Structure 1
Amino acid sequence: MELRAALVERWLRDSLCAFGFELHPLQVGWYNTVLQPSFHLAYPDNTLAFVVLSTPSMFDKAFKPFVNKQLLKRIRDPVDQCISHHLSLVKEHFPDEKVHIIYDYEMLPNRKPKFLAQTAAHVSGAAYYYQRKDVKCDPWGDKKIYGVCIHPQYGGWFAIRAILIFPEIQVPFLEQYAPIDCVTTEEKRIQLLEKFNFHWQDWSYRDIIEVKERYSEEQKTYFATPPAERFKLLGLQGGIQRNAFY
């Protein structure tokens, strides 16, 4: 079983990291343990899973080539289509394995997310999930304050895209690593949560730490464009695709 898990992880890294994705293995039980039962994933605790992140380079390495080679369906978000395309190749490569993919945008009938992406990223060691409870002297009173994940290399310039689950692979031997606490001071944590909750549109929370790489201006323009207008930005009109980037 250990060899089987290692072979799966090696193929995933060889295939997806070249396109700007990052993978972090975890046991499903690590995730379930920190959440109330209504959010649990219905698998044994030792089940192998991977949190999938997109790094800043995904835009150039995966998304732009996808747009220029594929006929996008106008009913779905272009980035979501790109992510789905690359992760569907995992199922094709492992036809004898059960592979369940849950995307960050998927919802249950009760409108709860199918998985809590930031919690999954934290327990896998991918990124530290900073929340209100991480601030000792809370300055916000009755205000609702949402938490945010910060990556030790990319700060806030990344996204959690999906979780891959391999129901038939059990990994009791998998070692858990804590996420890197890269926003260490009380002052910085308050600043981060303030920026994320009240000024998220100016991108500044993403630079709360020194980063290795950030989104290009082209990428920022794309994500700042309202979803309904992104097809036009890509040069897609009436189902006809034109070269938007090359």
Structure 2
Amino acid sequence: MPKLCARRNTVMEQTKTILNPLIEKIRAMLEPLGFEVYPFKIGWYNEHVDEKYKLSVPDDTLGVLAISIPGMWEKAFIPFVKQQDWDNWNKEKDPLHECMIHHFDQVKQSFPEHDIEVMHQFEMLNGQPKILVQTAAHMAGAAYCYQRRDVTDQPWPADENIYGVSFHPVYGGWVSFDGVFIFKDVVCPDLPQRAPKDVFPDRKERVELLKKLRDFPVPRKYAEEHEEYLSSDLHQKIAIARRIKS
């Protein structure tokens, strides 16, 4: 039987009392490594995705989104790289992906009493992402996902494909929506939903964002080495990791 975070007729404080220790434990593990953590209900996500992307758990099941901000590179990735034996590294594995798997596994292992499924943003199933992390981020209140429908009097032809853009309220596009912990045995019907901050209520700025016309200012972007890594192929990524180690 799922462990109820709070029954529907309980007050909000009871929900906080039971949920907070769990969420704060995850934050205590990941925030010092350059991550942010956001709880949400899986039903919020399922309501906004096509059938093939829906997660087959009850709507009130607890999900916890983890996103990395620019500091993750030096706080999590570089220490991870320096601990690896690069002479025996599997050349089919992306070092950054392996870093995420390592730290997410540590979180999962710290909750042996719970049934947890981890979904990484890079995982695929039958050629499709296992989870749409930008949608999860919007529904969890982490970052607003601006889409074509968010623009009135649209300037684009009806048949033009306009891709959505997620914008973090502090770091803009300089974040990564890394994955989700699904606590399959925890339901939280009274979890309050947090709306993402609408950074661009102005139509003109929304158009500029979706057209990629402006580099909106943020307090910190990725390090040059981080950007180099993300624009490299797997062979080059491993070379960058070896360079960091040396």
* Letter of the 2:138 counterpart: H
Equivalent residue in structure 2 for 1:129, among 101, 120, 145: 145
Are 1:230 and 2:237 counterparts?
A: yes
- For residues 47 and 161 of structure 2, the distance between their equivalents in structure 1, rounded to whole angstroms, comes to 25
Equivalent residue in structure 2 for 1:114, among 112, 130, 137: 130
Measured against aligned partners, the alpha-carbon deviations of 1:133-182 in whole angstroms (never above 9, x if no partner) come to: 11112222122111010000000000101011001011112100110000
1:222 Cα deviation after fit: 2.0
Of structures 1 and 2, the one with the larger relative CO (CA 8 A, separation 6+) is 2
Q: Which residue of 1 aligns with 2:244?
A: 244
Partner-residue secondary structure (3-state), 2:62: strand
- For residues 105 and 14 of structure 1, the distance between their equivalents in structure 2, rounded to whole angstroms, comes to 24
- For residues 244 and 53 of structure 2, the distance between their equivalents in structure 1, rounded to whole angstroms, comes to 40
CA contact (8 A) 1:135 1:190 kept: yes
Are 1:163 and 2:177 counterparts?
A: no
Are 1:32 and 2:46 counterparts?
A: yes
Total equivalences in the alignment: 228
- For residues 212 and 42 of structure 1, the distance between their equivalents in structure 2, rounded to whole angstroms, comes to 39
Are 1:151 and 2:158 counterparts?
A: no
Measured against aligned partners, the alpha-carbon deviations of 1:158-214 in whole angstroms (never above 9, x if no partner) come to: 01010110010111121001100002211111111111xxxxxxxx76x42x32321
1:89 Cα deviation after fit: 0.5
1:245 Cα deviation after fit: 5.3
Q: Which residue of 2 aligns with 1:73?
A: 90
- For residues 14 and 33 of structure 1, the distance between their equivalents in structure 2, rounded to whole angstroms, comes to 30
Percent identity over paired residues: 37
1:229 Cα deviation after fit: 1.4
CA contact (8 A) 1:5 1:169 kept: no
Q: Which residue of 1 aligns with 2:225?
A: 218
CA contact (8 A) 1:222 1:230 kept: yes
- For residues 227 and 143 of structure 1, the distance between their equivalents in structure 2, rounded to whole angstroms, comes to 32
- For residues 101 and 16 of structure 1, the distance between their equivalents in structure 2, rounded to whole angstroms, comes to 15
* Letter of the 1:117 counterpart: V
Matches within 5 A, 1:166-181: 166-181=183-198
CA contact (8 A) 2:146 2:164 kept: yes
Provide the TM-score with structure 2 as the length reference: 0.87
* Letter of the 1:138 counterpart: Q
CA contact (8 A) 2:91 2:235 kept: no
CA contact (8 A) 1:20 1:57 kept: yes
1:234 Cα deviation after fit: 2.3
* Letter of the 2:77 counterpart: F
1:114 Cα deviation after fit: 1.1
- For residues 219 and 106 of structure 1, the distance between their equivalents in structure 2, rounded to whole angstroms, comes to 21
Matches within 5 A, 1:5-44: 5-44=19-58
* Letter of the 1:55 counterpart: I
Partner-residue secondary structure (3-state), 1:244: helix
* Letter of the 2:128 counterpart: K
- For residues 60 and 41 of structure 1, the distance between their equivalents in structure 2, rounded to whole angstroms, comes to 33
Matches within 5 A, 1:194-213: 194-195=211-212, 207-208=215-216, 210-213=217-220
Runs of 4+ with deviation above 6 angstroms = none
Gaps of 5+ in 1: 196-203, 236-242
* Letter of the 1:226 counterpart: D
